[in-house]
Structures are given as C-alpha cells and as structure tokens.
Structure 1
C-alpha cells in the first residue's frame, strides 16, 4: 500500500485571480496532515479551477471558519480532536445548526475503532468516511474528483432554484422597472448556472452616446443585472478600463450581437434598433455550442427589449 506521505516537494498554494477556486477546509489537530494534504493537491484542478486551502485545528476553530464564509466546497474532517467525537459533532452542527447542505463532508480518522464506519454513515449526514492509512495519493485524487463534482452540480441546482424564484416573483408586476430588473436577474442566474461552473456575471447598459462621448466609454457602463460578487453593485456605474479594447472591437463588427471569449470570460455586445448597447460579461466560459450562443443572444435581445419598453412606459407616465 502506498504511503500517505506521498508528496516530494513543498509549494505555496496560489490561486489564479481570474478563476474562482474551490475552497477546501482541512480540520485536524495534526499539523502534518495539513501540510501533506496541501502538498499532494497543490496542482489539482477541476474545470480549470484550482483549490484554495483553509485550516482549522479544533472543532471550535472549525465552527468559526465555517460561520465566516458559506462557499466551502469540501471539508476534510478529523474525527478525534479535543475529544473522541469532536469531528462528528462538527459534522452534525454544520448540517443541522449552520444549515449548510452544499458542503461535502469527508470524515478522516486514524482510530477507526472509535467511530465505526457503518454507524457513522447511518447517523451523520456525511459524504464519505476514510481511514487515514488507506487514503493514498490516488485515492485522495479520486475523492477530490467525486466530492467536488457533487458540490459543483448541487451548487448549479441551487442557482437554478434562485433564478427561478426571481422569475416567478417578477411575473407579478411584469411592466414595472423593478420587475424587469428582477426578471433579468433571475434569467441571468439560470443562464450562468447552465453554461458555466462559475457564478460571476454582469449585464451592463451603455447609453446611446456611450461610444461618442469623450473619455472612456466603459466608465458609463451601468450594471442592470448581476450574479456573484456583482450582485450588490446593480445600479452602479462600473469602471473597467481593460474592457475598453474588447468593447470597441465588438462594436466595430457592426453586428446586432457580437461576442468573444477572452481568458475564459465571455463578452457579448448587443445593439438595439434605437442605437443603445448592452454588454453581457460571464466568467468561466469555455467553448460555446450553437445552442449556448443562441440562448445568450435570446437573453440579450429579449431583456434589451424589455428594458427599452419599460423606459418608454416611464416616459409616457
């Protein structure tokens, strides 16, 4: 059997800024377990997303870390720490009190007799149970693939649900400006969940004179719908000088809908019949099928029409 101490060099785990990492929480009172796990998985990626590790050395510390952020994909959790059932208590607390159903929980133990596998799996809402002596490098990789794929798919389902909820809420007042924003938000959330494993997207409006006014046209981009980190910035003007060249290139094509993918980010520009422009930005997009392109074009076309009609209705009032 392979030795658990499988890594042969040490490196700092760095996460590419452009790609959202999977956040992994290691909970173990043995510092060596933290070190060798990070070393072994330093180059691991799924869907081009790296790992970012967080450490806790006790059950109490683990609870603090879990309360501080809600986007952990996986928790590698030692059973025996402060006491023989510390890890089991953290697992139960995470599901029942914290209410986190998305994080994948893998229990690891160096003393299997303390918590028999069959009993633990039956009583606790965990996703896997491993003895540390059996968790070889290959088995650890298999564990990461299966756990992170499960988290990824559950997260997408949750995004579908949130997007559908917004769409249903918006249908009650379909002609109000607030409702059009909410409807666009809901559809965008579902699109992002369907087309990419990321959840970072923004939909901008550029005023009619945005390309002719002096200065950087991107400074006049207003966020009208968003997901992920941009959600709290809907309604703001967004300054992104690095987008200017892409924006100008798309406009020069003179197509009603023009797009390009740069550094796994989708940039789509839509021009209405009245000369207004809308730009869609989605992180984490690879190649797009014809169906994917069609869906994004429909989104930009129909939401642009909805926003334009809403603006006309507001003027008429």
Structure 2
C-alpha cells in the first residue's frame, strides 16, 4: 500500500447501502422520512416546553436540550447519507469526513452527559423533594448544560485534530455509512497509538462518569422509593423515571452494541446496521418515548397543536 499524507487524501469511501436502483429509492425515502420524523418530533418537544409555563422546570429544560441534541446528531449523519444515495456515490471528502467526525462526537458526548444530568435531576426530585428547587436552581441547570457542551466540544476537537496528524493508505473504505473516528483511525498508515489511548481514555472517563452517575442515582432512587413511598407514590415515581430509563437503555444499548459488534464481529454489515440504530433510530424514538409516557408533555403538545389554526 502506498502511504499518503493527510493533505494528499481527497476522499473516503463510505459503505454502499445497496446497488439495486429500486432498493436505493426505497432506502432514500425511508431515511428521509426518518429524518423528517426525528426533526419534527424533537422540535415539537422543544416548542411544547417553551410554550407551556408549567413545563419550565429543570426536568423539561434538560429534555428540550436533549431533543435539540438529537436533531443535531441526526443532521450530522443522515443528510450526507441521503446525498450519497441520490448521487449513487458513497464518497465523502477528507474535510467533510473530519467535520462529520467532529460534530458526531460533540452530540454523542453531549447526549451522554445530558442523560447523566437528567438522572441526577430525577434523583434529587424524588429523594430530596423539599430541597429540589434549592438544589436544582436555574443557575446550576445552566451551568450543567454549559459544562457539558464545553467538555463535548473540547473532546471532539481533540480527536479531530489528532486525526489530522495521521497519514493514510490508498485503501480508504470506511465500513460504515458515516465517518466514525475509530473506523477512520483504523485506515491510517502511521502510528495510531496516541489516538487509540486518547479514545479509550475519553470513553472510560467521559462515558464512564455519566453512566456511573446514572447507575448511582437510580440505585439511590429505587431504594428510597421502595422504602418510603406508598403504592400510589411508587407508581408515580416509576412512571416519571420510566421514560428516561427507556431512553438511557436505548442510547447505551445501541452504543455498546456498535463497539462490541465492531470488536468481535468480522461482519461490517452488522456494525453498519448497529451504527444506524445508534445515530438514526435512537434520536427518532426519543420524542415518542417521552410524549407517549408523559402526561404533561402530551397535554402541552395538544395545546400547541390546538394553537396552530389560529396562526394560519
């Protein structure tokens, strides 16, 4: 293989969904529909939270940020996939690949932190209800969001800049439908030890801390609920946390599935399907999970939709 400096690399080749023209049209319409549903569903959640004063609480503030993150995550992946399907060309430029890596990392990491913050919010609300408004004050909520965004951007920029130092071979086929940092690093001809160390460190720290916080928060929450609340109170507490737990399970389940599948399976197709679940299906499902299981959100959405005719 002929080594090529990063400045000589013009493009990477992403995995083709299909060679069949009819299936290509079906896939294009399917992913376009999923993208539109993702944007519309999450946008409705954001508008519902903004428009209803009863939802101006920390829990729904974090939920609206999660919805915005889901829109951005899908936008960093799906539009390029649709363009490639329409053009029948699976390529992506070197610069475009770096940009996609950076934005995908930002929003995946941010979603990871937001789920951790939301778990802490539920823990405080149920285990320390009398001090909830004092602990989860607006200043703390904003600071948690800003801190999460800052760490996510810093981590994404670090990994993206570290890719810049790599040289690549002539074989530049990425076995996924989008540029994912681990798969891009595997294509490098130069030494990738530092890149891999940074990735494992970031996954362990930036992924481990929020996940540990979620596990701790819910272990304390369940212990408190089972010990103190009545049957009605237990049902209300579990129903309040059910939506968040469903989203957490979907996010981490598909995320771990992607990396486990990449590590132990030689089938690139399996890894590609798992990556679609992670970046396409999960952001689309989140607004449905919250709206179907949350009475307040359903009420706010009815009010919001009811106001639409007055604006027309």
TM-score by length of 2: 0.29
Return the structure number with greater relative CO, CA threshold 8 A, min gap 6: 2
Bigger fraction of residues in helix: 2
The structure with more radius of gyration: 1
Bigger fraction of residues in strand: 1
